[in-house]
Chain A
Amino acid sequence: MIEPQPITTIDRSELPAKTATLASQGWRLVQICCTTGDTSLELTYSFDKEYAFSNLRVIVPRSDAVVPSITASYLAAFTYENELQDLFGITVTDLAINYNGKFYITTIKHPFLQKKTNTPASTMPA
């Protein structure tokens, strides 16, 4: 059985209002996911209410990767949004708990923006 998984694409400016409505209706934030395209970044916000599953999608250009935070309605989003900042180089505005790039400390900055996974020159121990 596969539950319906509707995805509604919205503009980033609508995000705070839409999530506030969902929060007031008792939807639970499931996850925030980012997929990198060649010129754009696709963010998917997933919500659950009694096994119903619904998604909001926001597409932002890579050159202007700024989204408003949804922590006003869903405080728990701070973990996901810090992840967006550290791994995807997205600027999240009005973020309630901002680690300022210290949530994940990675070898390469914003690793998901790099084209191909760089293979470290790993050698077997002698």
Chain B
Amino acid sequence: MSFLKKSPWILHYDGSSCNGCDIEVLACLTPLYDIERFGIINTGNPKHADVFLITGSVNEQNIPIIKRLYEQMPDPKVVVAVGICATSGGIFQECYNVKGGIDKVIPVDVYVPGCAARPEAIIDGVVQGLGVLEKKYAALKNKPSKTAA
């Protein structure tokens, strides 16, 4: 993927992270890393978003929230799990209230490593996610339109 045709918008949700990855996600948006120069901005509205960025693991209480946010996002959409907690539960894996990574609830397209994930890694993850997004977009376009529902 050499350039982006569209400006993908991000929806960020904190599963049950320690905040470490969240502040790094925010750091991506601020002047030093500034992903806005790629047309990427953070939106609070799931219906505006193309990329779902989740930090932290899932638990009983946030599963319905994550599912609802995911369902509210329009197709095509990409899920990026940021940090080791979102991948597998990380250091908190053995906690009684941690169910594991985000993929226990919704399909994940890109896993970003790190504790906390560095801004460079997060940007890299989002850019990889955009490749997936373009593929999904192409697949959606090729689908017969009568089944669209």
Contact = CB atoms under 8 A, between A and B. Distances in A.
A–B proximity contact (CB within 8 A): yes
Contacts of B111: 125
A118 B96 CA distance: 6
A87 to B, nearest CB: 10
Nearest to A108: B96
Interface in B45-60: 59-60
B8 interface: no
Contacts of A119: 93-94
Nearest to B108: A125
Contact of A117 (B61, B96, B99, B108): B96
B18 to A, nearest CB: 17
Contacts of A107: 59-60, 96-97, 99
Interface in A84-100: none
A31 interface: no
Interface residues of A, number: 15
A120 B101 contact: no
- Interface size on B, as a range, is 10 to 19
Contacts of B89: 120, 122
Interface of A is mostly: loop
A16 interface: no
Given A105-B61, A106-B60, A125 B103 contact: yes
B98 interface: yes
Nearest to A112: B96
B95 A117 contact: yes
B88 interface: yes
A5 interface: no
A68 interface: no
Interface string A98-114: 00000011111001001
A106 B96 contact: yes
Contacts of B93: 119-120, 122
Contact of A120 (B61, B87, B99, B103): B99
Interface string B28-62: 00000000000000000000000000000001110
Nearest to A106: B97
Nearest to B90: A122
B15 interface: no
A123 to B, nearest CB: 7
Interface of B: 59-61, 87-89, 93-101, 103, 108, 111
Interface of A: 104-108, 111, 114, 117-120, 122-125
9 contacts: A104-B61, A107-B60, A107-B97, A117-B96, A120-B98, A122-B93, A122-B101, A123-B100, A125-B88
